[in-house]
Amino acid sequence: MSWTNRYSVRIFSAFALLVIGVLAANVPAGAQQHGAYVFDGKRIPFTHLTSQNGKPAVGVNDPGLKALLDDVGATITWQPGQRYVLVTSAEPLVVSFAVGDTRYDVGPVTQQASFAPFLKGGEAFVPFEELVRALDLAPKRDGNDVVLQPQLASIDVQTSGDGAKLVARAGIPLDARIVSDGDGKLVIAFDGVGSTLQRSRSVRGNGLRQIDISTEGDVRNPRTIVTLQLAPGTSHGPLSTDDQRDFAIGFNGASAGQAVASNPEPSQADQSSSQSSEQPASPAPQSGTTVTAVDGAVIAAGYQVHVAVSGDASYEWHRLRPPDNRWYVDVHDATLGMPATDQNGGGPVQSVRIRQAANQTVRIALSLGDYDVVDVQPTASGLTITVSNAIAQIASTAKTGSGTIGSSAVANAAPATEPVDGNWKFAPQPGAAKTHYDAQNPRLIVIDPGHGGSDPGTVHGGLHEKTLTLDMAKRLRTILIAHGWQVMMTRDVDKDVYGPYDSAHDELQARDDIANKAGARMFVSIHVNGFMNAGPHGVTTYFSKSIDVPFATDVQRRLAANLGATDDGIVKSKLYVTLHATMPAILVETAFLTNPDDYAKLDSPSWRQKVAQAIADGIGDYAGSAPGDSQNSGQ
C-alpha cells in the first residue's frame, strides 16, 4: 500500500467516523431509546426529535408536537429568529424557554432544564421532558413505548367560613366520579390520570379530616383514587365542573363554585374593592355627598392627589402593613360620582384605584414606589393627598389618620403648589364636561339599534341581539317622540346599515355618518351583551369621549334605578361607534343574553319597555326638562 493509499484510508476512516458520529447525534432520541411516544392511546410521530446531553429535544415546528399541544389545549409561540419559546397550557400557565438559557419558567416557578434550548437548522429545540411535564404529562416507559401519562396536577382544599371546598385539576379533561360515600368516607375516582401526589395528609376543621391519594390501573389506563375522611355529620354537595379540568366539591354548605382563596389579590384595599365589584352593589347611596373628581400632579415635594368632594363627609386613611407600600383613603358617607378608575399615577405614584368600596364609602387606593411619606389634609374642595420621600417636605410620618370634609374643614387648605410634568386627570373638572359641541339640530336624537341584517350580534337560546335591539329602539323612539323629540333611527328594519356582510368598520361608520350629517344632539346605540360564560350580568353604559360622560352617567343612573338590574356602571372603552360620533354618544349594553336571569328579562316585552323608558328618562335628565334646552343639557 502506497503512502498515498494509506493516507486515503486514514482520511476515509476519519470521514466515516465523523459521518457516523454526526448521524448518531441526530438519530431521534425516541428511536434510540424506545419505539414511540403514546398519548391518549395514540402514537405520536415526532419527526423533529433529537438528542442533547442524552435527553430528548423537540423542534418547535414538529407536527407531532403541534398535535400533542392541540390535544392538551396548549398553544406555542415562536418565530424564526426569536429567542423565546412560549407555551401556554390549558391551565393556563405560560411555560417560557429561551435559546441558550437553561432557565425555564412554568407560570411563577423558575426551574433549570437539563440543557439549554438551541437552534438547529433555523428551528428552536427545547427540552422535551421538561416541556411535557410542564403540561402535566409524565413520560412513563411501557414496553418499547413511552406513554405520556396525564397527571392529576393538584388537589387543593380551600376553607371558607364553616365550609370547605376540594378542587382537583389535571392537564387534560377529567372524568371524575364518586365511587363510594358512607361510614365517614367519600371516595372519588379520577379515571385516565396518574398522580405523583400519592400521599396522606391531615386536614384540620371544616368537616374534612384526612385526604389519601393513591393510584391504580396500569401505565396506559391509570386511575387516581382520592379518599376523604370526613368528620361526623359532615355534608357535601355534588362533584361539579365547568370545564372538565377543574372538579370541585363543597362541604358543610360551601359552594363548589365560590371564589377560591388562591385569588392573587393581595391587599385588604383590593379585596374590599373586589367584593364590591364582583358582587355589584345596589344603587349607590344618595347621601348627597359625592366624590366628583380625582386628579394628580407632580410637585416639587413629590406628588399630590386632589380629591374633589361635594358635601360633608368623614374620611380615614391607612397604610397597608409594610413593606407593602400601598395606602388607601376612605371617604365615608359618600357616593362615587365619576367612573371607577384604575390608572397609572406619575412620579412616585405607581397606580391609583378609585372605587365605591362599600355602599357608603368611596375608596382611593394608592400604590407607591420608593416614596413612603404620606399626608392627607382636607381642603376647600375635598382632600389633598401628598406623597413625598422627605419627611422635611411634609410634617407627617403617620401611617394612618382621619378627619372630616366640609364647611368646618375649609380653612385647612393644602399649600399651594405648581403642577409640573406628569399630570393626570380621572374626571373632568367642573366646567370641563361642557363641551363646545353645538348640535345643528338640538331637538334630534339618533337611535342606533345594534347589529342587524347579516350581522345578528349575540345569539343565544333562540334570541338574536339584532332583534332585541331593534325592538327596544322602536320603543324608545315612541317615548321620545311623545316628549317632543325628533328621532332618527340608523335602521328601523332588520338590515345592515352599510350593506350585507360588510366590515364592522364600514357598518359602524355608516351609523355614525347618519348622526354626524344630521347634526344630532345625542347618539344612543342600544346593544345586548354576551360573553363566553353565564357569569357576567347587568346593565352597562359605555362611552368613549369626555363629552359622553355626563350623558352616560344620567342614563346609567336611570337604568340601574328603574330596571332593578345589576348596575355595572359606566365604562370607558374605545368603541368605534361612540368614538366617531361627534355628539355626546353612548352605547347601552342592556343585559347579558348569556346569563339566564338576564336572558329571561330580555325575553320579556315589558322589561324591554322598561329599558326604553329608563333610557328616555336618562335622556330627559341629561337634557333638562325641555328638548333643545342646551343651557341645561350639561353640554
Partner 1 sequence: MLIALLVVVSAASWLIFSRHRSPVGDHLTVYYTKIDGQSEVAWDVSMRPQQRDESAKEHLRNAVLYAATQAVAGPPSTIQAVRFPPGTHVISANVTGSTAIVDLSKQIETQTGTFGETGEFKSLVWTVTALPGINAVAVRVEGQKLETLPGGHLELDQPLQRSDF
Residues with active-site annotation: 589
Q: Which is nearer to partner 1, 218 or 342 (by Cβ)? A: 342
Restricting to residues 127-166, which ones interact with partner 1 according to CB under 8 A?
Answer: none
Of 526 and 612, which has the nearer Cβ to partner 1? 526
Q: What is the footprint of partner 1 within residues 363-392 (CB under 8 A)?
A: none
Q: What letter would DSSP give residue 548?
A: G
Residues between 265 and 304 that touch partner 1 (CB under 8 A): 265, 270, 273-274, 277-278, 280
Q: Scanning the structure block, which residue is given the C-alpha cell 317632543?
A: 484
**Alpha carbons 506 and 268: distance in angstroms, whole number:** 46
Please tell me whether residue 93 binds partner 1 under the rule CB under 8 A.
yes
Q: Cell triple for residue 131?
A: 416541556
Residues 6+ apart with CB under 8 A from 239: 176, 177, 178, 188, 247, 248, 249, 256
In the bound state with partner 1, the residue whose beta carbon lies nearer, of 105 and 372, is: 105
Among 181, 191, 216, 342, binds partner 1 (CB under 8 A): 342
Q: Does 100 bind partner 1 (CB under 8 A)?
A: yes
Burial (Cβ within 10 Å: 0-12, 13-18, ≥19) of residue 275: middle
Least distance to partner 1, CB of residue 77, Å:
5
Omega prior to 323 cis, within 30 of 0: yes
Q: CA–CA distance from 473 to each of 76, 138, 434, 469 (Å)? A: 45, 57, 27, 6
Residue 616 phi/psi, 5-degree rounding, is -60, -40
Could you say whether residue 250 binds partner 1 (CB under 8 A)? no
- Selected from 34, 55, 66, 169, the binder of partner 1 by CB under 8 A is 169
Question: Least Å distance between CB 125 and partner 1?
Answer: 17
Among 315, 485, 542, 543, binds partner 1 (CB under 8 A): 542
Which grid coordinates belong to 522?
345625542
Candidates 214, 227, 343, 613: give the one binding partner 1 (CB under 8 A). Answer: 343
Contact between 412 and partner 1 (CB under 8 A)?
no
Residue 448 near partner 1 by CB under 8 A? no
For the record, the C-alpha cell of 167 comes out as: 378542587
Q: Smallest Cα–Cα separation from 260: which of 164, 357, 178, 176?
A: 164
The interface region with partner 1, picked from 8-16, 22-30, 239-247, 390-398 by CB under 8 A, is 239-247
Residues 1-30 that bind partner 1 (CB under 8 A): none
Site for partner 1 contains 534 (CB under 8 A): no
Q: Which stretch binds partner 1 (CB under 8 A): 340-348, 431-439, 604-612, 623-631?
A: 340-348
Nearest distance in Å: CB 589, partner 1: 5
Using CB under 8 A, which of 36, 67, 167, 463 touches partner 1?
A: 167
Q: What angle do CA 159, 277, 325 make, to 5 degrees?
A: 80
Could you tell me if residue 394 is left (phi over 0), alpha (psi between -120 and 50 degrees) or otherwise beta?
beta
CB-CB neighbours of 631 under 10 Å: 8
AA identity, residue 58: V
Give the C-alpha separation, 18 to 349, whole Å.
Answer: 63
Q: Which is nearer to partner 1, 439 or 560 (CB)?
A: 560
510: its cell numbers: 355608516
Which residue, 275 or 314, is less far from partner 1 as judged by CB? 275
> 73 or 624: whose CB is closer to partner 1?
73
Question: Which residue's CB is nearer to partner 1, number 340 or number 468?
Answer: 340
State the DSSP string of 254-307.
--TTSPPTT-----HHHHHHHHHHHTTPSSPP--S-EEEEEEEEEETTEEEEEE
Q: What is the dihedral of CA 16, 20, 26, 31, to 10 degrees?
A: 150
Per-residue mark of binding to partner 1, 476-515 (x: CB under 8 A): ---------------------------xxx--x-------
* Interface pattern 554-583 for partner 1 (x via CB under 8 A): --------------xx-xxxxxxx-xx---
- CA 178 vs CA 113, 181, 190, 191: distances in Å: 38, 7, 9, 11
Q: Which is nearer to partner 1, 540 or 633 (CB)?
A: 540
The gap from C-alpha 185 to its chain's centroid, in whole angstroms, comes to 38
Considering the complex, what minimum distance in angstroms separates the CB of residue 10 from partner 1?
36
Q: How many residues belong to the site for partner 1 (CB under 8 A)?
A: 79
Quick check: 88 binds partner 1 (CB under 8 A)? Answer: yes
Q: Select from 84, 115, 118, 437 the one that contacts partner 1 (CB under 8 A).
A: 84
| 122 lies in the site for partner 1, by CB under 8 A | no
